[in-house]
Amino acid sequence: MTHLQCNVPADQRPRHIAIIMDGNGRWAQARSLDRTEGHRAGVQAARTVIEAAARAGTEVLTLFSFSTENWKRPVEEVNALLKLITELLPGERDQLVSNDIRFRMIGERLPEGGLPTAVMQEIERTEAATKDATGMTLVIALNYGSRQELVHAARTLAAQAASGTLQPEDIDEDMLNNALWTAGLPDPDLLIRTAGELRVSNYLLWQISYAELYVDECTWPDFDAASLHKAIEAFADRRRTRGGLTPPA
């Protein structure tokens, strides 16, 4: 495989890229394939983008893999998606370790949240195997919904207040940040969505407050390294003032 080089100066690239990987089903439908084949093709696209992001010096790459709303899909498709995770992660761990990539999941982990034990075991094994990595952090948003995340954070802080260990008036943005599933991660600078859809779909609502939005018309299985570099180039051309008149230092 020929590795494409990102032509954007390093100091103008986003530290954290978040992606809504949309269009697997449409990609499969256009080829008269089962939707599951679209998800398998999407996995290959994810591998390509993970490698390209790491080569571009991205600090954090967050991929929206399965939302809390996705449980509404046909049970056959949901089961196939979850089975895909348990099939793939054991084979991906060595690659993540050899490429110094740290793996992390954000989302509801509790058994009542719906994720099968086998899925959580593979997630936790991969997190443990890569915990000492110092390169890019790969975050998988699995069984994730931003509203649910905010409710979880509110309950965490409310419990601390009820126990007397926290005064409500002391709650600030940093405290809420630390109660989110993304605690310790920088906010996304760039949010990419594929398949031409113009919505954020309950994804990182707090964290993307100042993210630049980029929509690509191609479906996720067709998104590649060149597509990622194009999004990074578009990001570098944006004037980011965060509400002020000049970009912050």
Which pTM value belongs to this model? 0.94
216 domain residue, yes or no: yes
164 domain residue, yes or no: no
Q: Domain residues for 50?
A: 12-145+187-235
pLDDT digits (tens, 9 = 90+) for 152-175: 999 999 999 999 999 999 999 999
CATH number of the domain residue 75 falls in: 3.40.1180.10
pLDDT for 1 equals 46
For the chain, first and last CA: distance in Å? 38
Residue 204 and residue 214: Cα distance in Å, rounded? 15
Amino acid identity, residue 178?
N
Percent of the chain with pLDDT over 90: 90
Residue listed under structure tokens 């990182």? 204
Annotated catalytic residue, options 7, 11, 22, 132 = 22
6 domain residue, yes or no: no
Average pLDDT of span 49-61? 97
110 domain residue, yes or no: yes
135 domain residue, yes or no: yes
Annotated catalytic residue, options 7, 11, 34, 70 = 70
151 domain residue, yes or no: no
pLDDT digits (tens, 9 = 90+) for 215-225: 999 999 999 99
For 213, the 3-state DSSP assignment is: strand
22 is catalytic: yes
**pLDDT band per the 50, 70, 90 thresholds, residue 48:** very high
Amino acid identity, residue 26?
R
**CB-based burial label for 242 (10 Å; 0-12, 13-18, 19+):** exposed
Residue 214 and residue 194: Cα distance in Å, rounded? 9
Contact 48, 224 (CB under 8 A): yes
pLDDT for 5 equals 84
The alpha helices in 3-73, defined as continuous H runs, are: 24-30, 35-55
When divided into structural domains, the chain yields a total of: 1
114 domain residue, yes or no: yes
Neighbours of 150 (CB within 10 A): 15
pLDDT digits (tens, 9 = 90+) for 201-246: 999 999 999 999 999 999 999 999 999 999 999 999 998 776 665 6
132 is catalytic: no
112 domain residue, yes or no: yes
